[in-house]
Chain A
Amino acid sequence: DAGITQSPRHKVTETGTPVTLRCHQTENHRYMYWYRQDPGHGLRLIHYSYGVKDTDKGEVSDGYSVSRSKTEDFLLTLESATSSQTSVYFCAASTGENIQYFGAGTRLSVL
């Protein structure tokens, strides 16, 4: 997992509730990413960060927000979870040399 820890690993929640997923890295990578993985869609970028307090939207950012107050932590928040956000979420980090290193994933079910 290249020093990348995601928590929780599994979560079940109800529609309309807020959810925060955490990604923690120990390698001092500058760049961090949140992806979702769904059958037939591969990995799709939600948001990414290029430094502390510097974030930008990805391909599927609607309904998600992120925050990065420290180099090592990147949080993904679903303000009001919907069933369409049921997915497996992956965090990744990189130094900027193109190779992204991934965490083990968080499986989120929104009922």
Chain B
Amino acid sequence: GESVGLHLPTLSVQEGDNSIINCAYSNSASDYFIWYKQESGKGPQFIIDIRSNMDKRQGQRVTVLLNKTVKHLSLQIAATQPGDSAVYFCAERQGAQKLVFGQGTRLTINP
């Protein structure tokens, strides 16, 4: 069936650098995507979302890019900080009010 996946299971970056976390999706009809951050021992926290009629959306230090041509989604984190260490999940809406999650990327920050 349709699924959401990630290119890399782990990503290690230097503190202060920008982080880019990638996500591929297979359902070309998907119209809504969302990113979550999950810190150890906690539930997922909403970061940012984007609808398919947009290519880019910015939040505070985060930007989501959507490339519908190649069915690719990315989350960019500017000036990565130690507090950004977490697992990041992308998800796509499937049917009414349901989300399908990718397996997650673990982001680690090197001092």
- A→B interface (CB under 8 Å): 1, 4, 31, 40-45, 48, 50, 58, 90, 92, 94, 96, 98-105
Contact = CB atoms under 8 A, between A and B. Distances in A.
B33 to A, nearest CB: 9
B64 to A, nearest CB: 13
21 contacts: A1-B43, A4-B43, A41-B103, A42-B103, A43-B44, A43-B101, A44-B101, A48-B98, A50-B97, A58-B98, A90-B43, A90-B44, A92-B43, A98-B32, A98-B34, A98-B99, A102-B36, A102-B43, A102-B44, A104-B41, A104-B43
Interface residues of B, number: 21
Nearest to A50: B97
A43 B90 CA distance: 11
A101 B46 contact: yes
B98 A103 contact: no
Nearest to A30: B97
Contacts, number: 50
A98 B102 contact: no
B52 interface: no
B6 to A, nearest CB: 9
A105 B102 CA distance: 18
B97 A94 contact: yes
A42 B102 contact: yes
B49 A99 contact: yes
A40 B49 CA distance: 23
Nearest to A35: B101
Interface string B79-92: 00000000001010
A71 B5 CA distance: 33
8 nearest A-B pairs in the assembled complex, by CB-CB distance: A102-B43, A43-B101, A42-B103, A42-B101, A102-B44, A104-B43, A99-B46, A31-B97
Nearest to B46: A99
Contact of A102 (B45, B93, B102, B104): B45
Contact of B97 (A44, A96, A104, A105): A96
Contacts of A105: 41-43
A15 to B, nearest CB: 26
